[in-house]
Structure 1
């Protein structure tokens, strides 16, 4: 059977449409490609963003800021050594951009100048860490993207 140029164009269009439909169906059905919004209350958080900017500015004015390091036990968050760690309060939030179920929040309660996040809680990959902490009536914020 001989295929003329008109039949070839129609077959090319059908092949292209089939490829696009396969791509669309795969992206909608497969959970691997499912990504959620960063937060559910986007607009409420947007209104509180100026407070976060002020907290970040306070943290930059510290002589020492929060540092972290990865160890075999997990991720160690070290608070500034020049302040009394017993007076530190606040919350820490770890956000996993690729999987909402891995996100977690914990209250800061220190018995030594560092906080250990166990290795069992963290999956390898990118994490966004946000530590909102208070010391002597001042609020501070530490935000960082880390690869664990």
Structure 2
């Protein structure tokens, strides 16, 4: 086989690899970064924006600490009721939503059942007659 035939075979093999990769990516498309109910959430964006503004206006940003086996959330005030949502950016199937009620200003959640890695903590809570929403990325060890 001369060098001309080797070039043609090499280009053919490369083209088959590219076409095969393209077909594989199209058939295995699993975009876990898109929310299931993105349309409904976009309609409620003004409400979420108001909740974020309440955090800024009232200086109510919670302090989130991650230790070896738990997630500690320290709120500014007492008597908080809401939902803690843990989102895994790499796999939406691992997302969790936990309702909570804290008598004091602190809430703890055990992280022993969570996969190690990056998570996004979203907190929606109500204190008194005001609603708040806060989000922060964390790393679970």
Instruction: Output the TM-score relative to the length of structure 1.
Output: 0.81
Residue 39 of structure 2 corresponds to 43
> After superposition, where does 1:38-117 map in structure 2 within 5 Å?
38-80=34-76, 83=77, 85-86=78-79, 88-117=80-109
Higher strand residue share: 2
Residue 123 of structure 1 corresponds to 115
2:68 and 2:37 mapped to 1: Cα distance?
35
2:32 aligns to what SS in structure 1? coil
Offset of residue 136 of structure 1? 1.2
Residue 20 of structure 1 corresponds to 18
Offset of residue 8 of structure 1? 4.0
2:116 and 2:66 mapped to 1: Cα distance?
11
> After superposition, where does 1:126-141 map in structure 2 within 5 Å?
126-141=118-133
Structure 2, unaligned stretches of length 5 or more? none
Instruction: Output the TM-score relative to the length of structure 2.
Output: 0.84
Contact 1:35 1:98 in 2 (8 A): no
Counting matched residue pairs gives 140
Provide the aligned C-alpha RMSD in A: 2.3
Contact 2:82 2:99 in 1 (8 A): yes
